[in-house]
Chain A
Amino acid sequence: MTEIRHEVRRQGLGVSAGIAFGRAYLIGRDTLKAPRHHIEPDDVDTETARLYKAIASSDKQLAKIKEKLASENESDYHIITAHQMMLHDEHLVGAAVGYIRDELINAEWGLRRAVDDIAGLFDRMEDVYLRERRSDVEFVFERVLRSLLGRETGPVQPPPDAIVVAYDLSPADTAQLHKAAIAGLITDAGGKTSHTAIIARAHEIPAVVGLETITEIVETDDLLLIDGGSGMVIVNPTAATVAEFRDEQRRQVAAGAALHSMRDLPANTLDGTEIALYCNIDGHDEIDTALAYGAMGVGLYRTEYLFMGQAEPPNEERHYQTALEVLKRLAGRPATIRTFDLGADKLAPFLEAAELEEANPALGLRSIRLCLSQLGRPLFRVQLRGLLRASAHGPLKIMFPMISGVAELRATKVFVDEVKLELRQEGIAFDEDVKLGIMIEMPSAALSADFLAEECDFFSIGTNDLIQYTMAVDRVNEYVSYLYEPLHPALMRLIGDIARSAAVTKIPVTVCGEMAGEPMIAPVLIGLGIRELSMSAVSVAEVKAMIRATTLGEAEALVQRLKKLPTAAEVRAMVAEYVFGLTAQQRKGRV
């Protein structure tokens, strides 16, 4: 007979994402109590010997666990070595022996007092990582205590698909656990940097820690539902709760699988128009992720981070090496590198030192204006030299930010020609035909796109700034941010004009603002004539799915209808209706 147990929910700290459902397997800890009694002076030697014997036996157990690990998991290996050293630490053992002898107490009590002294020191530490090392001392104590009491535990062996429930897990426990096929881990103690959290993440086991009293609530074989993402733990869930979570679990798995299956498929419309999807990145370490999500290359590499927070601006070699690393990781795929877009809210120490004291920096000395100024010119030259040198090694394109019109474009190109001449005279290799393009991010550039298209190799529409400058609205200003509207009719006209101008001289045009990563807007951009989108890696799969569900003809027809609408709200409503229609068709198509 089993009593009916009610559903109980507890909120902890989710440290390793994923949903798990299974039977609880308790690793008991709190059942052990250190017996306390006084001893006769004659017994001091016996008690001390008991302690040393228990320490030796604990040492042996740890050595055995370590042996099985070999070097497979280095972090566990080293932490267990640290535990072995603690076992023989004078600070601990010496103090315990001192208590036994001076206070005439038994070995268990003496050891507990020595541990408490050290734990107290750890508790007072400010550093979170070091404070959590208190648990290491506790694990060592418990192991010795079990030896003293003759209550050694064998290896922890939960059944497969169990959810392990513990007060805390020692590195020795987790070292054994990650070989077992457990479904999840939950603990009373622990934080983001606890061993449990680290091991769980490394092995992709859903885990929730910091539940405080979960070991008191749960019994072995209770049904458990855990969500390692939100930190929710449900004990004895009702059928309805299980169904709800199963759906969520399926959704998560399906989303992951869809994303994966989509990775190697082209982003073509149903009627075969190819759309190129690229990524926006701030550092070359983001490239592998971008490719994993299915990006075809880098559409925007922002180089500001080479300057920001650095005492010295990067030298030529740094620019060169950074660009080379980008090309290397892309293995033949194209990379568009934007020269530094500093000024306004993006400051570097050399700029702060200049103390420009501008009343309105957003409309001040920034981006290409800064590059061409006395102040920025030397740094611009150094960056161009580095990038040009890298252009000899792969498909690298150079892009200039915030070009206002043809005069500025020409001034920039004259400067690039000077730098090229220098390199030629020095006999340094670079790609003579390196493509030079511009960001279109202010209305003056958008409205003179036809002229600009005659004199550069490609366009990239920076919609974030283009919207801000077109609407004269600061999108982070809460009073006016409602005016920041990607689907404003004025903006669609600008984008349409830019795309048409680019088509006349047959230069590519990419959209690289946040708008490019919004799946719902993709059909609109395609209908306006855009064939390249650059976005953050996580958006690629969703945007691709949207493109693959639409046709160019439909997208163009949609844009024709949108052109008749005078407000952003009406545009948005019609776009939503269109997208909803698409997904409905998709569902029908599948059934």
Chain B
Amino acid sequence: MAADDRADKTLLIQNELGLHARAATKFVQLASKFPCEINVLKGTNEVNGKSILSLLTLMAPKGTTISIKARGERSEEAVAALAALVDDKFGEGK
């Protein structure tokens, strides 16, 4: 396997509304641009990061710690991009 075939990162949800519909929409839109498999974990719960319904049912309000796990082509790039989105509070400013 190439070096960038897998990547993981743990993040804190910081925006006021948490991983709500609009934030999840942005997350899925971005995740879908990458060929790799992307999963999001909260505790022992692991869901598909390209599925908006899965992300919504994960229930991650402000202050939740989540992990992003990517497997396959361009994994590192995908995780870096998604982490930037989360850290930017999904562009919501608060």
Contacts of B52 in A (CB 8 A): 82, 85-86, 89
Report if B25 contacts A (CB, 8 A): yes
CA A78 to CA B28, docked complex, whole Å: 13
Are the C-beta atoms of B25 and A85 separated by less than 8 Å? yes
Q: Is B42 an interface residue (CB 8 A)?
A: no
Question: B interface vs A, CB < 8 Å?
Answer: 17-18, 20-22, 24-25, 28-29, 48, 50-54, 56-57, 59, 61
**Bound Cα distance from A270 to B44, whole angstroms:** 74
Closest beta carbon of chain A to B7's beta carbon, Å: 21
Q: Within the assembled complex, what's the spacing in Å between the Cα atoms of A79 and B23?
A: 10
Known contacts A122-B57, A127-B61, A133-B56; A90/B22 CB under 8 A: no
Q: Which of B24, B28, B56 has the most CB of A within 10 A?
A: B56
Chain A residues contacting B51 (CB-CB under 8 Å) are 89-91
Residues of the B chain whose Cβ atoms lie less than 8 Å from the Cβ of A118: 53, 57
Interface residue A92 (Cβ < 8 Å from any Cβ of B): yes
Known contacts A81-B25, A91-B48, A130 near B59 by CB under 8 Å: yes
B54-A79 in contact (CB<8A): no
Shortest Cβ distance from residue A164 to the other chain B in the assembled complex, whole angstroms: 23
Closest approach, in angstroms, between the C-beta of A444 and any C-beta of chain B? 47
Q: Residues of A with Cβ closer than 8 Å to B?
A: 75, 78-79, 81-82, 85-86, 89-92, 118, 121-122, 125, 127, 129-130, 133, 136-137
CA distance A92 to B50 in the complex (A): 12
Give the 6 A-B CB pairs with smallest separation, nearest first.
A91-B53, A121-B57, A91-B51, A82-B25, A85-B52, A78-B22
| In the complex, chain B residues whose CB is within 8 Å of the CB of A85 | 25, 28-29, 52
Beyond the given pairs A118-B57, A130-B20, 11 more chain A to chain B contacts, judged by CB atoms under 8 angstroms and listed by A's residue number, are: A75-B22, A82-B21, A82-B22, A82-B52, A86-B52, A91-B54, A127-B59, A129-B17, A129-B20, A130-B59, A133-B20
A137: which B residues are within 8 A, CB to CB?
53
Bound complex: CA of A79 vs CA of B24, how far in Å?
11
Query: B90 to chain A: closest CB distance in Å?
Result: 11
A136 to B57, CA, bound (A): 12
Task: Please report the C-alpha to C-alpha distance between residue A85 and residue B52 in the assembled complex, in whole angstroms.
Answer: 7
The verdict on A82 contacting B57 (CB below 8 Å), with A90-B51, A91-B48 known, is no
Known: A89-B52, A89-B53, A90-B48. Contact between A125 and B59, CB under 8 A?
yes
Q: Is the CB of B21 within 8 A of A133?
A: yes
Question: Are B50 and A82 in contact (CB-based, < 8 A)?
Answer: no
What would be 7 A-B contacts, judged by CB atoms less than 8 Å apart?
A75-B22, A82-B24, A85-B25, A90-B50, A118-B53, A121-B57, A133-B20
State the CA gap A137–B21 with chains docked (Å).
Answer: 11
Of B25, B48, B53, the most chain A CB neighbours within 10 A belong to: B53
Residue of B nearest to A114 (CB): B53
The contact of B22 among A79, A92, A121, A130, by CB within 8 Å, is A79
A518 to chain B, nearest CB (A): 38
Shortest CB distance B68–A (Å): 18
- Residues in A with CB closer than 8 Å to B29 are 85
- Taking the nearest CB of chain A, how far is it from the CB of B65, in angstroms? 17
